[in-house]
Amino acid sequence: MRLPGRRCAQWPAIPPVIRNPPLEQSPPVSEPLLPERARVPRHIAIVMDGNGRWAERRGRPRAFGHRAGVQAVRKAIECCLRAGVEALTLFAFSSENWKRPATEVRALMDLFLRSLRREARELAENGVGLRFIGDRARFSPELQAQMASAEALAPQALKLTLNIAVNYGGRWDILEATRALAREVAAGQLQPEDIDQARFECHLSLAALPEPDLFIRTGGEARISNFLLWHLAYTELHFTDVLWPDFGEADFAAALAEYAARERRFGLTGAQVRAAGAAHA
Ligand code: FPP
């Protein structure tokens, strides 16, 4: 199943005040976590790589690494809340991960189910809204039901939207959006020439959210691996050798610091960007 597109009534809009709250209203934040308050990414996407190697280095089964990965997920959520990040999108299971050994796939499904049962309520109580993106039809009815009930626990005051990509692929996402638009054209509801970027994005999984500002991949590989192919067009990329279960507050702070030091140009010249910045100062 796929959530219908967008702009998009059923996904709550992110309250803009969360982004850079006035200092006196801010939660306590350790200094190194916020290198520059004004340059905090609104949306971070993470490929959590390295669980298997982390476990193998300890002579343990790969599932042990995935369980340790859940602890790192908790830390990342806490860091996002403290830094004022509005959305976090995690690649938990790709459409290609079904090809892994059956024991590992079973262990991951079991881990998702148990983690959701254990954590969903507490996340909502802490202002974290959960969403799943990807094709859920292949998951067990029990897991699908658990995902739906976790999404239904909408927090009263949304601080962070947490998207978990499961059985997700960037190409699948683009194809689904294309099919949805083709259906609208076939039904006479839409003219092909009316298809523009905004309308296309309406049918993508992360429709109601800002595009990721920062992409992080742990585990030493420097590739996107069919994650958010459309959305990463202008995203700043941060690759680290740290294995996901070891990715902690200092690593998160380092990624934020690197992001804050980047000049995002979106096709403009550096001089144009600096002039625009000075005009808004
Ligand atoms: C990639 O590392 C990791 C995965 C395919 C699974 C990621 C899942 C988690 C961290 C659990 C998250 C749980 C929830 C509920 C969000 P790998 O196994 O490919 O590592 P390797 O490259 O060292 O083999």
Residue 14 has which token pair?
């992110």
Give Cα 272 distance to the centre of its chain: 30
The 10s digit of each residue's pLDDT in 157-180 is 999 999 999 999 999 999 999 999
pLDDT value, residue 279: 81
- Tokens 């990965």 map to which residue? 69
The second-level CATH assignment, the architecture, of 37-279 is 3-Layer(aba) Sandwich (3.40)
The 10s digit of each residue's pLDDT in 191-230 is 999 999 999 999 999 998 999 999 999 999 999 999 999 9
Domain range annotation of the chain: 37-279
Q: Which of 51, 74, 97 is the best mutation target for the ligand 1 pocket, counting ligand atoms within 8 Å of the beta carbon and taking the most?
A: 51
- Locate the ligand 1 atom nearest the alpha carbon of residue 62 and give its number: 18
Q: Give ∠ CA 63-64-69 in degrees, rounded to 5.
A: 90
Query: 281 alpha carbon to ligand 1 midpoint, in Å?
Result: 42
Give the CA-trace dihedral at 21, 25, 18, 130, to 10 degrees. Answer: 150
Which neighbouring-strand residues pair with 161?
Answer: 87, 129
What average pLDDT does range 77-94 have in this prediction? 97
What is the residue with the minimal CA distance to atom 1 of ligand 1? Answer: 49
Which neighbouring-strand residues pair with 44?
Answer: 88, 214
What is the residue with the minimal CA distance to atom 15 of ligand 1? Answer: 112
Q: Give ∠ CA 151-157-159 in degrees, rounded to 5.
A: 80
- Locate the ligand 1 atom nearest the alpha carbon of residue 164 and give its number: 16
- Locate the ligand 1 atom nearest the alpha carbon of residue 245 and give its number: 10
Query: 63 alpha carbon to ligand 1 midpoint, in Å?
Result: 9
Residue 152 has which token pair?
């239904």
Three-state secondary-structure class, residue 37: helix
What is the residue with the minimal CA distance to atom 24 of ligand 1? Answer: 52
The 10s digit of each residue's pLDDT in 231-244 is 999 999 999 999 99
What is the residue with the minimal CA distance to atom 2 of ligand 1? Answer: 49
Query: 103 alpha carbon to ligand 1 midpoint, in Å?
Result: 14
Q: Give ∠ CA 222-129-17 in degrees, rounded to 5.
A: 90
Query: 142 alpha carbon to ligand 1 midpoint, in Å?
Result: 21
Query: 33 alpha carbon to ligand 1 midpoint, in Å?
Result: 24
Through-space distance between the first and last CA atoms of the chain, rounded to whole angstroms: 45
pTM: 0.87
| CB-based pocket (< 6 A), ligand 1 | 48-53, 62, 66, 69-70, 73, 90, 92, 97, 111-112, 115, 164, 219, 244
- Locate the ligand 1 atom nearest the alpha carbon of residue 67 and give its number: 11
Which range, of 32-36, 65-69, 126-130, 262-266, averages the lowest pLDDT? 32-36
Best CA proximity match to 231, nearest among 34, 42, 80? 42
Question: 100 φ, ψ to 5°?
Answer: -70, 165
Question: 40 φ, ψ to 5°?
Answer: -85, 130
Catalytic residues: 49, 97
Report which DSSP code applies to 139: S
